[in-house]
């Protein structure tokens, strides 16, 4: 399948990333509560939407060659997206 890049929509995506604590020890209820309340896994990405399907946004941080080449690709699960803002 040959993909034609869509490079006309520049967006900022706010999304929840997976997060893993630094240690895998036993946790007491206070530590667990602090982990649950933590917002360190909120991420922001800026890029051009080059592909979208029912499950993912694929964005590129760089576009070259009149939109014929892209770089810095990331695929973000739609179920994790909190907000999309067109720029």
Q: What domain count does the chain have?
A: 1
Task: Indicate whether 68 pLDDT > 90.
Answer: no
Backbone angles phi, psi at 34, to 5 degrees: -65, -40
Over the stretch 13-46, which tens digit does the pLDDT of each residue have? 999 988 777 767 888 888 888 888 877 788 999 9
Q: Is residue 79 part of a domain?
A: yes
Q: Is residue 2 part of a domain?
A: no
Round to whole Å and give the CA distance between 34 and 12: 28
What are the tokens at 25? 């020890």
pTM of structure: 0.76
Q: Is residue 46 part of a domain?
A: yes
Kindly list the distances between the CA atom of residue 11 and the CA atoms of 32, 34, 37, 61, in Å, as whole numbers in the listed order: 34, 31, 27, 10
Determine the structural domain holding residue 54 and report its residue range. 10-19+26-86
- The pLDDT confidence band at residue 4, using thresholds 50, 70 and 90, is low
Q: Is residue 74 part of a domain?
A: yes
Q: Is residue 3 part of a domain?
A: no
């Amino acid at each position: 399948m040959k993909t034609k890049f869509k490079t006309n929509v520049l967006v900022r995506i706010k999304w929840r990333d997976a997060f893993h604590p630094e240690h895998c020890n036993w946790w007491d209820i206070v530590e667990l509560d602090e982990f649950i309340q933590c917002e360190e896994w909120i991420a922001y990405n800026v890029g051009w939407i080059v592909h979208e399907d029912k499950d993912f946004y694929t964005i590129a941080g760089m576009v070259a060659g009149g939109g014929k080449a892209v770089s810095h690709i990331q695929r973000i699960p739609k179920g994790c997206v909190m907000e999309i803002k067109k720029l």
